[in-house]
Chain A
Amino acid sequence: MPKKNKIYWFEGVTEKGVKALLNDENSKFRWLRPQRNRRVLVILMALGLILTSLGSYWPTLKTNLNLSAEVGIIVYSVTAIFVILAMVGCYSFLRIAVRSIADAPDELLDERQIAVRNTSFRYAYFILSYILMGLMVLMMFGPELQMFQPEGEDGSYVVIAALFACAAAPSMVMAWREKDI
């Protein structure tokens, strides 16, 4: 009888999924391994996060760019679809690029991988602290944000970007810093 695939709900990974990535079972993702390619992914992810948070300031940006209502909707829609797809794609590829080490529980990793994961979380924590500090400054001095409002600046984009950043930051740090993964 085949062994049951254990699901780690808290970490959002499965035993078979992590083991498959750790053991190079799928060779079609080898192109993600070189550090240069991983760094490109991290840059794309960071750009996606910045663009998502800028969604909160769209009404101000639209006014500043002197866009008509029709052009504004087209630019907004195309950008939103592109950014959403890019974010989801980059996040998935990032997890694959770091073999899910950033999300895996201790029992699926060896002692070096646990040390690498823990170090990445430590750096990610500091980076996120600075990002949150930057967001606080933006909210203090930028246009006033409201949550889930049909009119005016909608702060939910900033919150979504911050949540995405929390989920992706350890993988981003690991993908950027690790020589071999």
Chain B
Amino acid sequence: MLHNMSRNPEEPVYNRIEEVRSALGLSRQALANIVGVHYQTIGYLEREEYSPSLVLALRISKALDQEVSALFSLTPIKKGK
């Protein structure tokens, strides 16, 4: 499926990007500008419809001042934790 741009649809990458971004008061556009992607790509990542490359995951983690392992997971993340 093209809509599920996960690198491995059997094993999607879950994340807390939206939660952390909102807590920092950043808009999707602002985060997109920092990490150098289109704002829609941030939307796709937040909806877990696209799994980022390692480089992009590292860039997002740096921009949100989080460890990669705290931001991304192979198991579903309980939002708000």
Which A residues are closer than 8 A to B by beta carbons? 22, 109-113, 115-116, 119-120, 177-181
**Cross-chain pairs A/B with CB under 8 angstroms, 9 sampled:** A22-B38, A110-B38, A111-B37, A111-B53, A112-B50, A120-B2, A177-B3, A180-B40, A181-B40
Q: Which residues of B contact A115 (CB under 8 A)?
A: 5
Instruction: Say yes or no: A111 contacts B52, CB within 8 Å.
Output: yes
CB-contacts of B59-74 with A (<8 A): none
Query: Given A111-B52, A112-B44 in contact, is the A178-B2 Cβ separation under 8 Å?
Result: yes
In the complex, residue of chain B having the shortest beta-carbon distance to the beta carbon of A173: B2
Of listed B2, B41, B43, B53, residue having the most chain A CB within 10 A: B2
Number of A-B contacts (CB under 8 A): 34
Partner of A113, one of B38, B53, B56: B38
Number of interface residues of B (CB under 8 A): 14
The B1-59 residues at the A interface (CB cut-off 8 A) are: 2-3, 5, 36-38, 40-41, 43-44, 50, 52-53, 56
| B5 A112 Cβ-Cβ under 8 A | yes
Shortest CB–CB separation between residue B27 and chain A, in angstroms? 14
User: Could you tell me the distance in whole angstroms from the C-beta of B32 to the nearest C-beta in chain A?
Assistant: 8
- Residue of A with least CB distance to B7: A115
Which of chain A's residues have a CB closer than 8 A to the CB of B36? 110
Q: CB within 8 A of B2: which of A22, A111, A119?
A: A119
